[in-house]
Amino acid sequence: MKLASLKPFRESPEARRLALVFAIVYFAQGMWYLPNLSITFFLKDILGLNAAQTATFFSITVIPWLIKPVYGLISVSSRCLAKDARAIFSSALVWPRRWVSPLV
C-alpha cells in the first residue's frame, strides 16, 4: 500500500532535504532536554519533590542565564568592568590547564 501523501518526498530532492532538516531540528530539540529528564526523575523520585517544586528548581537554575547577557553588556560598556571581564576570560583559559596538569 503506497501512501499518496509521501509522493512529493519520493519525487523531489528539495522536499527530502527539507524533511531531513526538520528531522534533525526535532532530534536536536529532543536531545537538548534529555539531561533534564534524569534530573527531573532524581528530584521527584529520590528527593521527593512535587511537580511545582521541581518547576521552581528549574526556574531558579535559569536565572543566571537570564542575567548573563545583561551583565555582559554592562561590563563591555564600562571600562572598569571590562578589565575584569578580560581577567575572567584569561582565567577561563588557565583553568583547564590546572585540571589537566596533575594528570600528566
Q: What is the pLDDT along the chain (104 residues), one digit of tens a residue?
A: 466 666 766 778 888 888 888 899 989 888 877 888 889 999 999 999 999 999 999 999 888 888 888 877 777 676 655 566 666 666 666 665 555 555 54
Query: Which pTM was predicted?
Result: 0.49
Taking the alpha carbons of 76, 82, 87, 88 in that order, is the dihedral positive or negative? negative
Sequence letter at residue 74? I
**Euclidean distance between the first and the last CA atom of the chain, given in angstroms as a whole number:** 62
Q: From 52, 71, 50, 48, select the one nearest 60 (Cα to Cα).
A: 52
Q: Which three cell numbers stand for residue 21?
A: 532538516
Residues 6+ apart with CB under 8 A from 72: 85
